[in-house]
Amino acid sequence: MVVIGVTNEDVATVDKWFARMKPEFPIVIVKGSAFDDALGVRGYPTKAVVSPDGILTYAGYGEDAALESAMSSATDGSIFPKIINKVRKLMSADKRDKAYAEVLSILEKGKAKTDDDRYWVESYQSSIEAGVASDVELARTEFNEGRAYLAVDLLEEITKSKMIYPAREPALLLLQEVEAMPTFKDEMKGGKAYAKARAYGQEREYEAYAKAMISVSKKYSETRIGERALKDAQDVIDRGLPGMRSSCPGCSERKKACVKHAVEIKQ
């Protein structure tokens, strides 16, 4: 049985989610409503069981008896041809470079004999190349928003790779632009401090988050990351989040710190 996630989100959003959640199954991006219409999707998430020959045996919500029955009686097999088994395993293990090398090898050696084989191999090639191009676009966005350290992480993965992706040249040019910043070294140092501060926000520890971001903004006041940190701290303060407690009914109802728990942050 093969598990596949299907979404209509954009590539950048899917890449961020995939990097954070690290699912053990591939994600397919489908545009338009044809797929949803075929499953009869009325809400999300919808689960479906499809046999290798393309027959829909279940579609619906939750973990009900019908889903369990469809899964238990599912026919062994895969909708994917064997020729891309290695590619799929490498992608699931987050080894994009090796997966791409395998795809190119299959194509160069003419191993894809059937139209179905070629379709899937070329689909993975396009998907990987689109993912790399999306990383370059995301790096540009991070750079423009003052997070040069994140841009460097994304770009170095591409530029230092042994694989020559179509988007490698734009990645090199953008990396050169980032590294040419007069404050580059401080941007990288400040980026590490920013990342630690950001972790507080991910844990919803908004008081610690705001204070840490303000500290970054003061220490790296002449940098973009310092400006970004101050902006992020101000956003949390303006939304009244410092002091918010998830266990407090008042905080939960207001979606910010209640009068009892609100903390004033001095800048």
Q: In terms of domains, do 84 and 173 share one?
A: yes
- Number of structural domains found in the chain: 2
Is the overall model pTM greater than 0.75, yes or no? Answer: no
Q: Would you say residue 61 lies in a domain? A: no
Q: How confident is the model at residue 55 (pLDDT cuts 50, 70, 90)?
A: low
Q: For position 21, what pLDDT does the model report?
A: 73
d(CA 255, CA 204): 12
Query: Is residue 176 situated within a structural domain?
Result: yes
In this prediction, residues 199-216 reach a mean pLDDT of 95
- Whether residue 138 is predicted with pLDDT greater than 90 in this model: the reply is yes
- The pLDDT of residue 29: 78
Q: How far is CA 19 from CA 57, 129, 137, 208, in A?
A: 31, 17, 16, 25
171 and 92, same structural domain? yes
Where a domain ends, among 133, 156, 180?
180
Q: Per the domain annotation, does 201 fall within a domain?
A: yes
Cα atoms in the Cβ-side hemisphere of radius 13 Å centred on 18: 24
Question: Which pLDDT value is given to residue 157?
Answer: 94
Residues 205 and 231 in one domain: yes
3 pLDDT more than 70: no
In the chain, the percentage of residues whose pLDDT exceeds 70 is: 85
Structural domain harbouring 204: 184-254
174 and 90 in a common domain: yes
- Rounded-to-integer distance, Cα 26 and Cα 33, Å: 20
pLDDT at residue 12 tops 80: no
With CA atoms as reference, report the closest residue to 231 among 260, 255, 197, 185. 197
Which pLDDT belongs to residue 78? Answer: 62
**pLDDT value at 150 more than 90:** yes
Domain boundary among 180, 195, 218: 180
Tokens read off for 27:
């994600």
- Please report which helix (H) or strand (E) contains residue 7, including its range: strand 5-7
Q: Where is 92: in which H helix or E strand?
A: helix 85-92
Residue 113 maps to a domain: yes
Query: 148-159 vs 115-144: helix axis angle to the nearest 10?
Result: 150
> What pLDDT, on a 0 to 100 scale, did the predictor assign at position 99?
95
184-202 and 206-219 helices cross at what angle (nearest 10)?
A: 170
* 164 and 219 both lie in a single domain: no
pLDDT in tens, 63-85: 667 666 766 666 565 667 889 98
CB 56 within 8 A of CB 38: yes
- Among 160, 158, 93, 92, residue whose Cα is nearest residue 129: 158
Which among 82, 80, 36, 29 has a CA at the least distance from the CA of 54?
Answer: 80
**Does the pLDDT of residue 4 top 70, yes or no?**
no
Averaged confidence pLDDT in the chain: 87
Q: Are residues 164 and 193 in the same domain?
A: no
